[in-house]
């Protein structure tokens, strides 16, 4: 930012603050500090904007991060102060600003594995995997001598659509212990699934289904028609769910599992999950069973309405896919990672309102309404690409027993994300 325009912008923001317009002021400071614009700030400009940022955070009660920000303002040439601020900004949910701070920190310390990896973490949280990949490309010596940067290079390559790089790095990721076994398995799983769908999926910048399977092992049964060509490419942003959409998901799930030997349906003891599980049990003609007090629900169909509400203590129980076990989530978030990837999910969303809203009837009565509802109209299915779906299912279903991946946020298919 040129000096004159920078001074003028700072004065305009100060006037907003003085008049009590904190939110517009905060939004304008964020624009300046966020990646990638923030990485182009001269280091001498950072203290000015960080001080203003800290003042605005203080007005919102974020006292801990204010202390870290002011410490960096007082000593902007301290790598420790900058690193601590970047770390805390990631935790606060501001990874785009964290990336800027960590980029400037990296300029102070040179080739530091700790700072490089934290910068990459910030960029991953901001769903800027190509930028994370580019950062790691710039440190070949660091990748050569250290496992974690090498893994992150392969992972962000895959998340950027560069399967060639992930495949080339994989032989150098031979695990040397428990910590590295899971990292190796992540990249090996991605490469293996990519090989499995070679010639079936285009894996281009609009192939949401293909990339979802390759990166996570999940089958996505429905793609949003809203902004499919641009800017959403099959994901939903704010979604007020509907019974027809739920029924469409159930119909496609039933077509997948009807040939499997699934004795019952399980769901966590959450109302939305139990309603959906009851509806699916009615459709399949099998009982809905209570979640086991000990052990894992296997074999059976594990049903989740919204993957994001899965209680964390259940996730380890579902990490291993057991024989004759399928995990189904109607809705899955796409802007944050989830501990496990469902075997089947209907849709991706950023913000979700459940289909039955404040309906206070019994679980059984609401489930009966779901089962009796019609599915989506054909106009809502125009992005579902039936031929591609059938080809993907033919080459990947049913899933074999083994570890489930995490459901990674983002990927090579972009979508607009709203804040």
Among 2-6, 46-50, 100-104, 392-396, name the one with the lowest average pLDDT: 2-6
* Both structure tokens of 312: 């964390």
Name the nearest CA neighbour of 87 among 104, 71, 65: 65
Q: Please identify which residue in the block is written with the tokens 């900004």.
A: 89
Q: Please identify which residue in the block is written with the tokens 């770390």.
A: 87
**Burial class of residue 342 (count of CB atoms within 10 Å of its CB; 0-12, 13-18, 19+):** buried
The CA distance from 368 to 353, in Å, is 20
Provide mean pLDDT across the span 311-320: 94
334 and 372 assigned to the same domain: yes
Provide mean pLDDT across the span 261-288: 97
Q: Check residue 277 and give its pLDDT.
A: 98
Residues above pLDDT 90, as percent of the chain: 91
Does 408 map to a domain? no
User: Under 8 Å CB-to-CB from 377, ≥6 apart: which residues?
Assistant: 244
Q: Inform me whether the pLDDT recorded for 63 exceeds 90.
A: no
185 and 304 assigned to the same domain: no
The CA distance from 2 to 242, in Å, is 50
169 and 309 assigned to the same domain: no
Q: Please identify which residue in the block is written with the tokens 């033919």.
A: 394
Q: Please identify which residue in the block is written with the tokens 């991953």.
A: 124
Last residue of one domain, picked from the residues 164, 196, 228: 196
267 and 216 assigned to the same domain: yes
Q: At what angle do helices 22-33 and 46-59 cross, to 10 degrees?
A: 150
Provide mean pLDDT across the span 105-122: 97
Does 413 map to a domain? no
117 and 3 assigned to the same domain: yes
Q: Are strands 325-333 and 300-306 parallel, antiparallel or unpaired?
A: parallel
The model's pLDDT over 231-252, given as tens digits with 9 standing for 90+, comes to 999 999 999 999 999 999 999 9
CA dihedral of 147, 150, 151, 157, whole degrees rounded to 10: 180
CATH of the domain at 115: 1.25.40
What are the Cα distances from residue 324, in Å, to 77, 259, 297, 404? Answer: 58, 11, 10, 14
Last residue of one domain, picked from the residues 103, 126, 149: 126
Q: Check residue 67 and give its pLDDT.
A: 93
Does 397 map to a domain? yes
The model's pLDDT over 378-394, given as tens digits with 9 standing for 90+, comes to 999 999 999 999 999 99
Residue 188 near residue 153, CB atoms below 8 Å: no
Q: Check residue 59 and give its pLDDT.
A: 87
Q: Please identify which residue in the block is written with the tokens 């530091």.
A: 112
73 and 138 assigned to the same domain: no
Q: Check residue 1 and give its pLDDT.
A: 59
Q: Check residue 69 and give its pLDDT.
A: 95
pTM for the structure as a whole? 0.95
291 and 381 assigned to the same domain: yes
Q: Choose from 15-19, 176-180, 330-334 the range with maximum mean pLDDT.
A: 330-334
Helix (H) or strand (E) holding 352: strand 351-353
Q: Inform me whether the pLDDT recorded for 3 exceeds 70.
A: no
Q: Check residue 2 and give its pLDDT.
A: 60
The CA distance from 342 to 316, in Å, is 13
213 and 185 assigned to the same domain: no
Residue 256 near residue 397, CB atoms below 8 Å: yes
332 and 267 assigned to the same domain: yes
Provide mean pLDDT across the span 328-348: 98
CATH of the domain at 235: 3.40.50
Q: Inform me whether the pLDDT recorded for 4 exceeds 70.
A: no
Does 176 map to a domain? yes
Q: Are strands 351-353 and 238-240 parallel, antiparallel or unpaired?
A: parallel
* CA atoms 148, 154, 160, 165: torsion sign: positive
1 and 26 assigned to the same domain: yes
Q: Check residue 62 and give its pLDDT.
A: 81
Tally of domains in the chain: 3
Does 97 map to a domain? yes
Provide mean pLDDT across the span 284-309: 93
Average pLDDT, the chain: 95
Q: Whole domain around residue 361: which residue ranges?
A: 201-403
Q: Are strands 320-321 and 219-220 parallel, antiparallel or unpaired?
A: unpaired
Provide mean pLDDT across the span 60-81: 92
The CA distance from 299 to 334, in Å, is 28
The CA distance from 127 to 395, in Å, is 29
Provide mean pLDDT across the span 288-310: 92
Last residue of one domain, picked from the residues 97, 126, 155: 126
Q: At what angle do helices 22-33 and 3-18 cross, to 10 degrees?
A: 150
Name the nearest CA neighbour of 301 among 271, 322, 270: 322
Q: Inform me whether the pLDDT recorded for 177 exceeds 90.
A: no
Does 411 map to a domain? no
Q: Inform me whether the pLDDT recorded for 128 exceeds 70.
A: yes
Provide mean pLDDT across the span 203-213: 97
């Amino acid at each position: 930012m040129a000096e004159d325009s920078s001074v003028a912008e700072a004065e305009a923001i100060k006037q907003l603050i003085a008049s009590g317009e904190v939110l517009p002021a905060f939004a304008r400071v964020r624009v300046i500090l966020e990646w990638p614009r923030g990485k182009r700030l001269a280091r001498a400009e950072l203290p000015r904007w960080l001080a203003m940022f800290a003042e605005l955070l203080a007005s919102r009660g974020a006292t801990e991060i204010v202390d870290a920000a002011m410490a960096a303002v007082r000593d902007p040439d301290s790598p420790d102060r900058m690193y601590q601020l970047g770390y805390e900004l990631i935790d606060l949910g501001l990874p785009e600003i964290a990336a800027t701070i960590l980029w400037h920190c990296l300029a102070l310390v040179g080739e530091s594995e700790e700072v490089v990896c934290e910068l990459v973490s910030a960029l991953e949280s901001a769903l800027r995997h190509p930028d994370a990949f580019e950062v790691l490309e710039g440190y070949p010596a660091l990748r050569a001598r250290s496992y974690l940067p090498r893994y992150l290079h392969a992972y962000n390559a895959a998340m950027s659509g560069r399967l060639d790089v992930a495949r080339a790095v994989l032989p150098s990721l031979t695990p040397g212990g428990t910590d590295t076994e899971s990292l190796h398995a992540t990249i090996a799983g991605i490469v293996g699934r990519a090989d499995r769908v070679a010639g079936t999926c285009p894996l281009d910048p609009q192939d949401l289904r293909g990339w979802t399977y390759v990166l996570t092992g999940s089958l996505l049964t429905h793609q949003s028609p809203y902004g499919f060509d641009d800017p959403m490419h099959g994901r939903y942003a704010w979604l007020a769910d509907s019974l027809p959409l739920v029924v469409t998901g159930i119909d496609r799930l039933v077509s997948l599992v009807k040939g499997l030997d699934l004795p019952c349906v399980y769901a966590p003891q959450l109302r939305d999950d139990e309603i959906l599980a009851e509806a699916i049990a009615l459709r399949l003609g099998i009982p809905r069973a209570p979640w086991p007090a000990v052990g894992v629900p296997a074999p059976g169909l594990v049903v989740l309405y919204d993957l994001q509400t899965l209680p964390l203590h259940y996730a380890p129980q579902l990490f291993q896919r057991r024989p004759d076990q399928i995990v189904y989530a109607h809705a899955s978030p796409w802007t944050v990672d989830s501990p496990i990837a469902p075997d089947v999910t209907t849709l991706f969303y950023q913000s979700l309102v459940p289909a039955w809203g404040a309906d206070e009837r019994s679980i059984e009565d609401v489930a009966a309404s779901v089962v009796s509802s019609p599915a989506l109209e054909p106009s809502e299915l125009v992005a579902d690409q039936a031929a591609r779906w059938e080809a993907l299912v033919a080459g990947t279903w049913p899933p074999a027993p083994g570890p489930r991946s995490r459901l990674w946020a983002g990927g090579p298919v972009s979508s607009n994300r709203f804040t």
